[in-house]
Structure 1
């Protein structure tokens, strides 16, 4: 019943194609294409499927072209008529993920940064294996309060949000406690440029690198740095986090994406493995941090 309610909620919110955000629009269209391939694989025309389902023929085309989002019952009927009930779990998961996969920052952060950080605390507390990649800045769990304040202030100013940076920092520091809690493993990969990128003042960066030199030696932390001159085995296009094998989190300038389908997670796992293969670890990584620290004065 809960799944049915979630699907109905998605249908109410995203049925009008004109108001759907681009990533969600793409997900709806991908779902429609998947339904189409299932129908074709069953040797059915659109009209033939509609007759078997007891629908008007236009209903099939609306689903396949992403003009309408199917309900749980619609998906069950589709799979039954196409003798493809094994496809049903993934189809249900695809529909339910559309609602949560794209959250605009202006909605997520309208009450300030603290709520967002508190939500991350709850999600990360349940995570046992963290894999994180960042290009231009230090991952949140490893940030000092001053570094986090600089980053959050930039976000607040960009999106004209309520200024609750102080409360947001406290919540972020709660997240950092996981580094010292048994039962959690962390594998982080960053590009070397993140060690010196001017996203925060130089004095803040110096203290951040001092702390990072200690963090990378923690027994549950594997910290890799991709040297600027390294051969890249995977393109470092944007940062992302993989929490266990449950979700991939991606933060863009406008929104946060949460990808939950197994093929999406597998794709990002391959990308992470490629990035990790380009990185150096242990003493070589600490040397890069020390060199960057020395260069900042």
Structure 2
């Protein structure tokens, strides 16, 4: 799979939006100059929008959809526009106030969310991390990004934030690649404590934990770690940035990927057996 930088991802999102505008115009059987006239614009504005040289405003999208009789696509296009302009925030910007602040600023999103769907290829999901595991993970992460070394405070904030899964009316569906159970973070004691906690939390009625086995034919490849908050927003963690996806069509794509990954996972006794094997492997 090709690797994209956050900046190239943003440009790709802008270009994809421009292509959708072109498709809408062509499906309406209109020429660019006709759309410009219907929207009350100078004729040069349409090619600027269609070639992604100018980012459309919400009002531009409304006029375009009205002119082309495509009002049913309005909400999705506006969400895509906003997503293209603010879809990622570089980690170095997020880390200026330290890792603790990074954890705390996402807490309101957790408070609003009733259904969490999380996929992790390598780390244990943040929602299920112990303090020791979170501190070790954030220490590595902070050292790599040269962030303020407040990883203990950040770990405490992460654990506090994760307590939402114990509240009534919450549901967390989590998928973890089996490799994550063997990817040792911290000491053997820290890792054993983390794996033991996974066994404990599986008993919670609000938590569904699936383990995707090492072996067996896959129906979906391993992708980047992502979290879906209800059906409204997706958070994707890249090496250099945190990406926020809000376009309904893109959110649906992540949900489709989650469903594909979900079908490969094992649950209940089979999942417990794989976690127990990982504990045994620690020696």
Alignment correspondent of 1:263: 249
Q: 1:272 aligned to 2:258?
A: yes
Q: SS at 2:44's partner residue?
A: helix
Distance 2:73 2:116 in 1: 29
* C-alpha contact (below 8 Å) 1:102/1:255 kept by paired residues: yes
Alignment correspondent of 1:46: 32
Q: 1:294 aligned to 2:280?
A: yes
* C-alpha contact (below 8 Å) 2:83/2:246 kept by paired residues: yes
When the two structures are superposed, what TM-score results if normalisation uses the length of structure 1? 0.89
Q: 1:183 aligned to 2:178?
A: no
Q: CA RMSD in A?
A: 1.6
Q: SS at 1:234's partner residue?
A: coil
1:222 to 204, 208, 220: 208
Q: Which moved more, 1:105-114 or 1:76-85?
A: 76-85
1:93-120 per-residue CA deviation (whole Å, 9 max, x = no partner) reads 2212223311111112221111221122
Alignment correspondent of 2:22: 36
Q: SS at 1:190's partner residue?
A: strand
Q: SS at 1:52's partner residue?
A: helix
CA pair 148-85 structure 1, distance change in 2 beyond 3 A: same
1:60 to 46, 56, 59: 46
* C-alpha contact (below 8 Å) 1:232/1:274 kept by paired residues: no
* C-alpha contact (below 8 Å) 1:121/1:174 kept by paired residues: no
How many residues were matched structurally? 278
Q: List alignment gaps of at least 5 residues for structure 1.
A: 1-19
